Amino acid sequence: MASAGRTFLLWWLTIMVSWGHITAQRELEKIYMGEILSEIPAVQCAQATPNIRISFQNRFCTKELMYETLQVAFGTQQNRLLVGLKHEGYHKFGDLTVAIGYGRFFGKRFSIALRGIYLWRHAEGYSGQHSLSLDLSAWVQTSRHTYLAFYVFNPIALKYGITGHERLPIVLKLNFGYLSEGRIGGFLFCEKRLPIGFDIGGGLICQVAKACVLNGTASLLGLSIGIQVPWRRYEFGCRVEWNYRTGISPQCQMAYHFPDAPDRAHNTTQNLKSIPK
């Protein structure tokens, strides 16, 4: 009888510890995908539920360099309509970007997204400049603990003003992440801008409490540290970036995850159980 009781207790503790590891990894994955990979549209398709995310950044603490973004992903369990708005600058000068596209989630571990992009560069006293482009992105869960994300902007090398002489930059991004079954994970990233611009670095993400996740990055261009607080279907976060040359940029953000079908909402848990290590 005592032996059976000890066996049951060990079995129960094993299940609770395993579930705690899976839950912790789910929280890390949620923050990693929503915060670290927020600029890669395909990641929005891989998240369990439709979501909306807004952020504000005061670049280098200069009012003329405000940076506001709005990202929305909604649709069915496998198909997502992606809408994005971004404005850099202020009312007298700036760049407005409007993106609309489609994303598809294949199986349990792979998603792609394609968006058409409209850009409007405005300046007080001058006529606006209108441009068109597109971006392509992909996300894949390569194993139980590893993730790979890819993004390319303007792959067909379109120009400002559609028929202008100045070419829009081509931007390539690559991110590789590892999330353990505990409360810590790491990631590496690389960004190349053509004709000029390059950055490479890495970071850590750590769940220090049930409702508190810290992350930090270091790269050739600067350092950053951020904190995210998940609460029910919401995520609240703030971040401070320090560019070695130009200074500090504070940022705040908020995200909301819409309710969805239970099967899709628990996909992540099932993936972690079924994918081999």
- Report DSSP letters for 104-129, one per residue: EEETTTEEEEEEEEEEEEEETTEEEE
Cα–Cα distance measured from residue 225 to residue 203, given in angstroms and rounded to the nearest whole number? 9
Closest CA to 94 of 71, 126, 72, 70: 126
Q: Domain 2-274 belongs to what architecture? A: Beta Barrel (2.40)
What is the pLDDT, as a whole number, of residue 25? Answer: 53
Task: Using the Cα atoms of residue 134, residue 97, residue 80 and residue 210 in order, give the sign of their dihedral.
Answer: positive
The domains of the chain are located at 2-274
What is the pLDDT, as a whole number, of residue 216? Answer: 93
Q: What is the mean pLDDT of residues 205-213?
A: 85
Cα–Cα distance measured from residue 198 to residue 205, given in angstroms and rounded to the nearest whole number? 23
Closest CA to 53 of 247, 254, 218: 254
Tokens 């261009």 belong to residue: 221
Please give the model's pTM, rounded to 2 decimal places. Answer: 0.81
Q: How many helices (H) and strands (E) does the chain have?
A: 4, 14
pLDDT tier at 260, thresholds 50, 70, 90 = low
**Structural tokens at position 177:** 């992440």
* Least confident among 45-59, 98-112, 189-203: 45-59
What is the pLDDT, as a whole number, of residue 210? Answer: 78
What is the pLDDT, as a whole number, of residue 46? Answer: 82
DSSP 8-class letter at 268: H
CB 171 within 8 A of CB 157: no
